[in-house]
Structure 1
Amino acid sequence: MKLSAVLITKNAGPEFAKCLESLAFADEIVVLDSGSTDDTLAVAEQFGARIFQSDDWPGFGPQRQRAQSHAQGEWLFWIDTDEVVTPELASSIQRAIEQAPAKKVFQVKRLSWFFGRFIRHSGWYPDKVVRLYRREEFGYDDALVHEKVHCPGASVETLGGDLLHYTATNFPDYMSKSVRYAEDWAEGRARRGKKASLFSACTHSLGAFVRKYLLQRGFLDGRHGFLLAVTTAIYAFNKYAALWIKTRR
């Protein structure tokens, strides 16, 4: 088996069917679910995915490691449930795995949708992330959130085409996910003995807004860019506030 498309899921959301449909070029689709209560598993079955389930949640990095253990392909392509592969990217993936030497990994360019508009500035595009590698060579790190592929010594090449990322289509869901990520980030920092203050929460929040809106030219994305800068500042505040609360306990 040449290529496995791998996902971790929990209540995958409205883009899940489009996501799976865009993976028709893969030899198998592997889904590791952690307790979905909606139609996620039914949709996955509809597209012929191999479905596995976990009873606990160890964090994003460890969960991806678990999912990798279920894949059978020589190559792994990772995708999230709110992402869609464009035809150009699918063709680029197929060409890449036919001719790549050892110790070669591939990154994709994510083009993200934010409440009605694809964001092309604000530091969001091209959002390059490693998503394609040989199963026996590399894997994800242990980070609870903002996990990355651990690929020391690898050469990295960027694939053609975009990975469409429908990250923000529902405001309550987007903000609740942001709070969950902030909590996971704080938990990881607290385990390493890190501390924070409310003052640092404020300064990091202000810095996040300035960086996103001015330095990364979020103003070129119009009102959407301003909203993105504000929500980024809120996320930064929540991270350090959550860490402050944990250290006070």
Structure 2
Amino acid sequence: MKLSAVLITKNAGPDFSKCLGSLGFADEIVVLDSGSTDDTLAIAERFGARIFQSTDWPGFGPQRQRAQSHARGEWLFWVDTDEVVTEELAKSIQDAVEHASENNVFQVKRLSWFFGRFIRHSGWYPDKVVRLYRRDAYGYDDALVHEKVHCPGASVQTLDGDLLHYTATNFAEYMAKSVRYAEDWAEGRARRGKTASLFSACTHSAGAFVRKYILQRGFLDGRHGFLLAVITAYYVFNKYVALWIKTRH
């Protein structure tokens, strides 16, 4: 078996069918679910995925490590449930698997949808993330959130085509996920002995807005760019407030 498409899921959301439908180029689809209560598993079954389940949540990095252990392909391609592989990217993945050198890993360019518009500035595009690598050579780190593929010494190449990321379609769900990510970030920092203050929460939040809207030219994304900068600042504020709450004495 050459290529496994791997996902971790929990209540995958409205774009899950489109996501799985774009993975026809893979030899298998592996899904590790952590307690979905909607139709996620039924949809995965419909697309012929090999489904595994876990009863606890160890964080994103460790959960991806678990999912990797279930895959059988020589190569792994990681995709999230709100992402869709374009035809150009699918062809590029297949070419990479056939012709890659021994130490190659491959990153994709994510083009993200934000409440009605694809964002091409604001530091969001090209949002390059490593997603394709040999199963026996590399894997994800232990980060609870914002996990990354640990691939020291690898030659990182960029695949052609975009990975469409429908990250923001429902406001309530998007904001709830943002709060969960802030909590996970704060937990990871607290475990490493880091602290924060309310003052640092304010300064980091203001800095995030300036970086997103001005330095990363979010203003070129129009009203959506302004909204993204405000929500980013709110997320950063929540991260540091959560850390302050966890570590104050």
Give the TM interval when normalised to the shorter protein: over 0.9
Query: What amino acid is aligned across from residue 208 of structure 2 in structure 1?
Result: A
AA in 2 matched with 1:235: Y
- Return the offset for 1:230: 0.2
Q: CA shift at 1:248, angstroms?
A: 1.8
Partners of 2:238 and 2:165 lie apart in 1 by: 23
Aligned to 1:212: 212
What is the distance in 2 between the residues matched to 1:146 and 1:182? 10
Q: Distance in 2 between matches of 1:100 and 1:94?
A: 10
Task: Please state whether the residue corresponding to 1:72 is helix, strand or coil.
Answer: coil
Tell me which residue corresponds to 2:93. Answer: 93
Q: Once the two structures are aligned, what percentage of the paired residues are identical?
A: 86
**1:119 alignment partner AA:** I
Instruction: Give SS of 1:35's match.
Output: coil
- Letter of the structure 2 residue corresponding to residue 22 of structure 1: S
SS where residue 31 of structure 1 aligns?
Answer: strand
Q: Offset at 1:12?
A: 0.1
Partner of 1:66: 66
Structure 1 Cα separation of the partners of residues 226 and 193 of structure 2? 34
Unaligned ranges ≥5, structure 1: none
Query: Matched residues in 1 for 2:158 and 2:122: separation?
Result: 20
Alpha-carbon offset, residue 101 of structure 1: 1.0
Q: TM-score, with normalisation over the residues of structure 2? A: 1.00
Deviation at 1:44, TM superposition (A): 0.1
Q: CA offset at residue 184 of structure 1?
A: 0.1
Q: Cα deviations across residues 76-116 of structure 1 (Å, max 9, x unaligned)? A: 00000000000000000000000101111000000000000
Q: Which residue of 2 aligns with 1:235?
A: 235
Rounded to whole Å, the distance in 2 between the matches of 1:101 and 1:63 is 28
Q: What SS does the corresponding residue of 1:98 show, helix, strand or coil?
A: helix
Partner of 1:77: 77
Equivalence for 2:198: 198
Q: What is the alpha-carbon distance in structure 2 between the residues aligned to residue 214 and residue 99 of structure 1? A: 41
User: 5+ unaligned residues in a row in structure 2: which ranges?
Assistant: none
Which whole-Å CA distance do the structure 2 matches of 1:67 and 1:217 have between them? 37
TM normalised by structure 1 equals 1.00
Paired position in structure 1 for 2:150: 150
Query: How far apart in 1 are the matches of 2:236 and 2:207?
Result: 9
**How far apart in 2 are the matches of 1:168 and 1:202?**
25
> Between Structure 1 and Structure 2, how many residues are aligned?
249
User: Which residue is equivalent to 1:134?
Assistant: 134
1:110 maps to which residue? 110
RMSD: 0.4
Where does residue 46 of structure 2 map in the other structure? 46
Supply the distance in 2 between the matched residues of 1:114 and 1:215 (Cα, whole angstroms).
19
Question: After the TM superposition, which parts of structure 1 deviate over 6 Å for at least 4 consecutive aligned residues?
Answer: none
In structure 1, distance between residues paired with 2:203 and 2:28: 46
1: CA distance, partners of 2:38 / 2:7:
16
